[in-house]
Chains A and B, each alone.
Chain A
Amino acid sequence: MNPLLELRDIRHAYGTQTVVNNLSLKLEKGAIGCLLGPSGCGKTTVLRCIAGFEPVSAGEISVNGAVMSNAGFCLPPERRHIGMVFQDYALFPHLTVQANIGFGLHRMQKAERAARVGEMLKTVGLAEVPDKYPHQLSGGQQQRVALARALAPRPDLLLLDEPFSNLDVTLRGRLSLEVRDILKNQNATAILVTHDQDEAFAIADEIGVMHQGEIQQWDVAYNLYHRPANRFVANFIGQGVFLPGKILDSQHVEIELGTLAGDLPHQCTPDCQLCREGNAVDVLIRPDDIVHDDDSPLRAAVVHKAFRGADIMYTLRLPGGGIALSLVPSHHNHAIGEKIGIRLETDHVVAFRQSAP
C-alpha cells in the first residue's frame, strides 16, 4: 500500500541558509507522526512545506500519490486538502466558535454544514459554547476549537504546529491524550511538530527526531529511548550519561560498573568496525540502568539529588570519578555526600565510538 504522505529528499533554503536538507519520511493512513527537535531545527519549516506555505527547492512531497510540491511546483495550500492547527491557533476573533468551525465548510449545504459543525463541537467537547467568541474561551478551549476547525472539512492530512505550547503543563498532558483520542476516532492522519518529547510520546505513533534540518531517526518512542541511532538522539531523548567502556567481544562491553551484555550496537553488521575487541567506546547509561542496592559492594557518592515524588533522581560520582544518574524509589532518602550501593541492571547496550578527543 502506498503511504498517505511521502516526502522524498526535500530541501528548503531561506536565502543561502539551508533549513531542511534531504529530508524523507513516509506516513501511513491513520498514523500520527511527529517531528521532534530543539527549536531552530527546521521542523516547523517541514510542516509549512507540507502545507504549501513554503516551496521546496529540491525533492518531492506527495499525498495519496499526487504530487503537492517539487522543485518547480507548489500546489496552492487551499487546493491540498491539508488541515492545519497553528501554534497560536489563529482563530478568527470576529467569529463565534461555530462560525470558526464552519469556516472551512463553505462548499457544503447549510443543513449538512450545521450537522458537521454540531458533530465536531460534540467531538471536542464544546457543545455548550457554540456562540461564544474566541476571547471568551480558555486556552484549552481555544485549542479545541482550532482542532475542530481543522478537522471539520475532513482533510486528508492534519498538521499540528506545536499545538500545546501555549498551554500550562498540567493541561498540556491531559489535552495531548485527548487530542490523540480525537484523531484516532476521526481516523485522521496527522503530523505533529513539537520540542517536547513527553508530548511526542503521548500522541505520536512514530517520531522523527530532527536536528540541523535532517531526520536523525524515524522510529517508535521505545526505540528512540532504548535504541538511539546516534549520539544526538541519545542525548536529546530522555536522560543519561556516557561512560567510557571497552569492547570485549561483539556481545559484551566492559565499563567501570561491570560488564554489559547485548548486541552492540543493535544494528551491528558483520563488518562493523565498532565491535572489534579492545575498541574504546562510550556507553549510554540511563538513570533506570543503575539500581540502588544497599548490599552491593559497588559504592558511589551522592553529588546532587532531585526529589520527584515517586522517586529521587540521584547524581552520583562513581569511584573512578565519572558521573552517573540513578532513579531510585523515593523512600530511599540519602543525604548529599553519602555513599550508596548501586548495581548495574541492563538488558541491552547502547554504545558509540568514542568521540575524537
Chain B
Amino acid sequence: MPRPRCGAASRCGVAPSSGRYGYALRGRAVPRSALPCTPKTAHSTPSNCRIQVNGVKDGTLDPTANSAGTRNGFFSFSAFTYRASSGWRLIPFLVAALVLIPVGTVMSSLFAPTGDVWQHLVETTLSDLLINTFWLALGVSAGATLLGVSLAWFTAVCEFPGRKFFSWALFLPLAIPAYVTAFVALGLFDYIGPVQTALRAWLKSDLSWFPDVRSRLGVIIVMVLAFYPYVYLLARNAFITQGKRSLEAAQSLGFSRTQGFFKLTLPMARPWIAGGTMLALMETLADFGTVAVFNYDTFTTAIYKAWFAMFSLPAASQLASLLIVIVFAIIILEQHFRSRMRYAETRQSARADRIPISGWRAWMIAGFASGTLFFAFLLPVMQLSIWATHVFARDFDQRYLEFLWHSVLLSVFATALTCTVALLMVYAARRHSDPATRAAVHISTVGYALPGAVLAVGVFIPIAWLDNWLGEIAMQLFHIETGLLIQGTLATMLLAYMTRFLAVSHSPIDSAMQRITSSIDEAAVGLGSSGWATLRCVHLPILKSGIFTAATLVFVDVMKEMPITLMTRPFGWDTLAVRIFEMTSEGEWEQAALPAVALVLAGLLPLIFFVRQTER
C-alpha cells in the first residue's frame, strides 16, 4: 500500500488553502455566524472510525512493512486517539469549568450579600455607578451604531471619491486601544493641552465656552471612535453579502433602489448591526483603561478601587457580581441576534452595482469618512509620535525595555497556552459532537464577554482559597509554612488571560477546522495515509493559517489587556499597559506615549492580515 510522504505540500495532495482568518479583533471574537457566507459544515466524528494497524497487509502480518512504517514515523494515530478518546472528551468540560468557577464565585456574592458591605455600597457609590454606566452604555452603543452603519453603507453600497481607501482604512482605529485614544484626547483638548492653549493665545479669550473634555460626553465620544469599527465590520459584511439579488427582487416588485434600501437592505442587516452594537457594548462595559483616564467611575474602576484602595475583596466581588448580571443580559441579547443572523443568511449572489454619487454629496461623504479616520486614528497616532519623540531620549532605557520584555513574555506564554487549549478543544469537539460537549465549548467561549476586572476577582478568590487549603494541609501533614503557592504568580495571571481570550483563539481555529470535513479524513485514510501523516500533511496545512491568526490576535489582546494585568500581576511585573496606567493616572501623557506606541504597532499586526484578507 503506497503511503503518502509528507514532503512538499503538493505531494500531500492538499494544497495549503488560503486562510480564512478568524474575524476576531481586539479581544472580541466576532461570531463566525456574523459572516453570512461562512461555510457551516457540521464536524461530525467519522462514524466508521478506522483503526489502521501498520504492518498488517491483507490480513497477514508483514514485519517489513511495520518497520518501514515506524521508521517513517507513520504509526497508527487513529488507534492511538481511539484509545485516548476518553481523555479528549474531558477537555471542553475542564475549560468550561475554568470559566464557570470565576463566574460562580462572583455570582455567589450576589446571592449572599454581606450586609454592611452592601449597605456601604448602596449609600456611597452604587447609584452613581449605575447612572454612569447606563449613560455610557446608551451613548456609546447609539453613537457607534450610527457611525458604523452609515460608514458601512457608504463604503459598501455607494461609490464616492476614495471609497476603496476608506473601506479598509476605517478599520484602522481597531489598532489603538481605547485607553490610548482616551489619554491622547485628554492631553490634546484639556485646559492645559496644546489645542486650548493655542486657541487662548490666538483668540485672546479665556475660552470659557470650550466644552470640558473630561466629561461624560468626552468619554462617550472617545469610546464611539474606538468601538465603531465593530458595527462597521458587521454591517458592511451584511450589506456586501446581501448581494444584488434581493434588491432586484424588490425592484421587480415595484420598489426603487432607494426605497429598497430602507424597506429591505436595512431590515435585512438588522441582526448584524445589532450584533455589532452588542460587541461595542460589551467592550464598553469591560473597559477599564478609558474610564480610568477620564476619572469617570463605572463598575470596572469601582471594582479596582474597592480592591486596591479600600482593600475590600467582598466589595469588589459584590460590584463584580452586579456587572456580570448586566453583561449576561447583553450576552443573551447577542446570542439572540446571532441566531437570527444564521437564519437571515442569504446565499451569496453577484455583488450589487454601487450607487454612483457625485457632486457635493460625494464630497460630503468623503469628508465624513476622512473626519472619522482623522479623529479616530490619525490624530492619536500623530500626537503619540510627537510625544514619543520628545521623551524618547529620556525614556527609552533599561526600564522601558523591561516593560516591553514583560509584555512580550507574558503575551507569548498566554498565546501558547490559549492556542493550545483552543486547538485541543476544537479537536475534542470534533471527535465528540454530543450536546454536552457543544454546550461546554459554548460556555468556554463565553469568557470573552467577562470584563477583565470581574475575571481578576473571580480568579483570585478561588485561588486564594486553594492556597489557604494547600497551606493548611501542608501545615498539618508536614508542618511546613508554604506561604502563597499560586496566588500572585504568573499562573494566576495566565489562567485569567486564557479564560478571557479563549474565544479569540477558538473562533479562527474552529473556522479552519470546519474546512476539514470528515470526508477529507476518510479520503486520507482511504488513500493509505496513517493518522500522523494525515495530521501532518492534511490537518496542519489547513489549520496553519487559523492557528496563526489566533496566535496573533491573542498576542495583541494580552499585550493591551489592562485590568487583569493590573490586578493579578506578580509583584514587580510591570508591563507596557501597567506603565500606561500609572503614567496616565498622574496625567503624564508624554510618558505614557512611548509604551502606547509599542501597543499600537503590535495592534496593527493582526489588522494588516485582516484587511488584506477582507479586501482581497
Contact = CB atoms under 8 A, between A and B. Distances in A.
Contacts of B254: 78-79, 81, 104, 106-107, 153
Contact of B248 (A90, A93, A153): A90
A27 to B, nearest CB: 18
B275 to A, nearest CB: 14
A53 B248 contact: yes
Nearest to B243: A90
A172 to B, nearest CB: 19
B251 A93 contact: no
A201 interface: no
A88 B345 CA distance: 13
Interface stretch (B198-206, B263-271, B427-435): B263-271
Contacts of A81: 254
Contact of A77 (B252, B264, B267): B252
B344 A78 contact: no
Interface string A125-163: 000000001010000000000000110010000010000
A33 interface: no
Given A84-B248, A86-B245, A93 B346 contact: yes
A303 B344 CA distance: 53
Contact of A88 (B251, B259, B340, B349): B349
Contacts of B251: 52-53, 76-78
B347 interface: yes
Nearest to A79: B254
A88 B347 contact: yes
Nearest to A146: B249
Nearest to B256: A78
Contact of B246 (A53, A76, A84, A90): A90
A92 B252 contact: no
Contacts of B253: 78, 83, 103-104, 149-150, 153
B465 interface: no
A82 interface: yes
A51 B246 CA distance: 14
Contact of B255 (A78, A84, A93, A135): A78
Interface in A88-125: 88, 90, 92-94, 103-104, 106-107
Interface residues of A, number: 27
B245 A88 contact: yes
With a 10 A CB-CB cut-off, give which of A53, A93, A153 has the most chain B CB atoms.
A93
Contact of A92 (B248, B249, B256, B345): B249
With a 10 A CB-CB cut-off, give which of B245, B259, B345 has the most chain A CB atoms.
B245
B60 to A, nearest CB: 39
A90 B267 CA distance: 15
B343 A92 contact: no
B343 A133 contact: yes
Nearest to B259: A78
With a 10 A CB-CB cut-off, give which of B250, B254, B267 has the most chain A CB atoms.
B254
Nearest to A51: B252
A93 B344 contact: yes
A93 B268 contact: yes
A86 B259 CA distance: 20
A92 B245 contact: no
Contact of A90 (B245, B256, B340, B345): B245
Nearest to A102: B253
Contacts of B252: 51, 77-78, 82-84, 104, 150, 159
Interface in B117-151: none
Interface in A52-86: 52-53, 76-79, 81-84, 86
Contacts of A103: 250, 253
A77 B259 CA distance: 13
A106 B245 CA distance: 20
Interface in B557-614: none
A49 to B, nearest CB: 13
B264 A92 contact: yes
A104 B259 CA distance: 12
Contacts of A51: 248, 252
A90 B249 contact: yes
Interface string B251-288: 11111100100001001101100000000000000000
Given A86-B248, A88-B349, A92-B264, 8 more contacts: A76-B256, A78-B252, A78-B255, A94-B268, A149-B253, A150-B252, A153-B254, A159-B252
10 nearest A-B pairs in the assembled complex, by CB-CB distance: A104-B253, A77-B251, A90-B249, A84-B252, A90-B245, A93-B344, A78-B251, A135-B343, A78-B254, A88-B347
15 contacts: A51-B252, A52-B251, A76-B251, A76-B256, A83-B252, A88-B349, A90-B246, A90-B349, A92-B268, A93-B344, A94-B267, A94-B268, A94-B344, A106-B255, A150-B252
